[in-house]
Amino acid sequence: MNLNRKIGTLMLLALFLSSSLMAFSPISDTIESEYLAPRIGNSSFLAETMTNVSIPFVDNHYGSSDGIIDPTEYAYSYTDPVSGVKSYFEHNGTLLYIGLEAMTPGWIGFAWQNTSSSFTTAGLNNSDVIVGYVPGQTHTNMWRVQGTDGVTVHYKLFLRNGSMIQESDYPDFSSTQPVEDLSSLQMYKEMIIGMRIGEIRYFVIPAEEAYDQKGHELYGQDLVYEIELTRIYREGSERVANPADNGDIVYSDEYGTNTFQHLPDPDQSQILEAGGSDNGTVTQVEYTIYLNSTDTHDIPLIEDSVGRFPFVFMFGNTEELNGLPVQHSYWAEPAMIAIISNAPPTLIVVSPEDDSTIEWVANLKLNATNDFVRQASYRIDDEPWVALGYDFLSGYWLGSLDLSKYETGAHVFTFNATDPSNATATTQINIEIDRPFLALLGMRIEVSRNFLVTASYGSRIEDTYTVTNNGSAPISAID
């Protein structure tokens, strides 16, 4: 695609002045909340401070860059206070998932600089730029599930350890029963509300809110669900088509050459996936991009870097990649973004205490905290690992070990815990096995009995006693 990117100096100066003036009436003041992607459990919010944004690590991204930003799709959102562009973020250590939303029929873009650089004097010069627009209007009447709708949901059910135990459809394709009347766990019904066809949601029903009847095969189990909505039935009408299938996007990975100028990167591989939608009022675009691109025109986004990456957001009212922005972030006040790496679980050994003395049995209690810990184990000295069990009532991982076969003296317990992304933490404690002196401790007596038939149909019983003496006492000590 050949695009005319020559922008006159006078136009640049005029735009610079006009964009500065327009910043006093940010578009975010005019956006109506019903046009923006709804959130579950929280409302739209600014960053941690006016400029600092921390993009969290997630074990899995549930969704795709299909151009429709769903309520539970991203772990973090930020509204630029000047441009009003709302952005959604999360990453998995390799890929950055980002959604952008603005009240415009035109293009939306974002750009970032190295941690040591700034937009203040150079504008977009030397920045990494991604811009995109949705050609035309893609949908006007997208359904999201209401409590009175009938639905079909495909689900996968996992246990805490990651093993899948069920996969099916509930409700199935014949159901017209309202979601609010389903015979299911309450959280399962609540999570269906607000979904659109093709949307995927992930959630955990804690054991205390799941099957709490003792004797039920899933009693005490946290239930991990992944669900996809495939059908909505409403007032005699049925829909099965994914509205994202009508989406479209024209996009480009670019590099800044001047205050507002940017050119296409010959290597477009930084963007793995992209999608867009336009309902006539709000445009949404989504991207999946590589964090650590090695292309010379790209700026890699490094986890836990010493500094933060300055980001700016902008949009225009035209369907073109080189259009002039009608609004953009203050060059001097970009969002300062940090890519937060995954942290392994935090471990605290509650029992036994470090440097404690134990005689016969070690009762093990581990507190492993994280967003979600998939499994925990222990071992003594260099023996094989043994799984601990999760107790939903206490929140601890529990186990027990008979120490009678171990020699007295110093020993080491090692504990570990792993999250769904396989990030593992370990910790150790020292113990001393010290038993009270017993005169016969260590002696073992084995008894065998034989039934013998004698002549004249008589019988007798013979008992045989075998004493193994470890030398702790004379054999005569057994009376």
Domain coordinates of the chain in residue numbers? 9-139+247-339, 150-243, 346-433, 444-477
Question: What is the pTM for the complete model shown?
Answer: 0.81
Predicted local confidence at residue 437, as pLDDT: 67
Angle at 134 between CA 302 and CA 201, to 5 degrees: 60
Predicted local confidence at residue 10, as pLDDT: 34
Predicted local confidence at residue 212, as pLDDT: 87
Q: How many residues does the chain have?
A: 479
Predicted local confidence at residue 401, as pLDDT: 98
Task: Judge contact between 392 and 359, C-beta under 8 A.
Answer: no
Question: How far is the CA of 472 from the CAs of 194, 438, 468, in angstroms?
Answer: 73, 9, 11
CATH code that applies to domain 150-243: 3.10.50.40
Predicted local confidence at residue 39, as pLDDT: 38
Task: Judge contact between 222 and 246, C-beta under 8 A.
Answer: no
β strands within 279-344, DSSP E: 283-290, 309-315, 327-328, 335-339
Do 9-139+247-339 and 150-243 show the same overall fold? no
Q: What CATH architecture does domain 9-139+247-339 belong to?
A: Sandwich (2.60)
Which mean pLDDT values do the consecutive 10-residue runs of the chain (479 residues) have? 36 37 30 36 37 93 96 96 96 98 97 94 94 92 97 98 97 97 97 98 96 93 98 97 95 96 97 96 97 96 92 96 92 95 96 97 96 96 97 96 95 97 97 80 76 77 80 64
Predicted local confidence at residue 219, as pLDDT: 96
Q: What CATH architecture does domain 346-433 belong to?
A: Sandwich (2.60)
Sign of CA dihedral 200, 205, 209, 212: positive
Residue in this structure with the two tokens 């001393």, named with its chain if needed: 432
Residue 358 to residue 33: CA distance in whole angstroms: 61
- Closest of 114, 10, 11 to residue 323, by C-alpha: 11
Predicted local confidence at residue 40, as pLDDT: 39
Predicted local confidence at residue 30, as pLDDT: 32
Query: Which residues have C-beta within 8 Å of that of residue 403, sequence separation ≥ 6?
Result: 358, 359, 360, 361, 362, 433
- Closest of 398, 386, 472 to residue 435, by C-alpha: 472
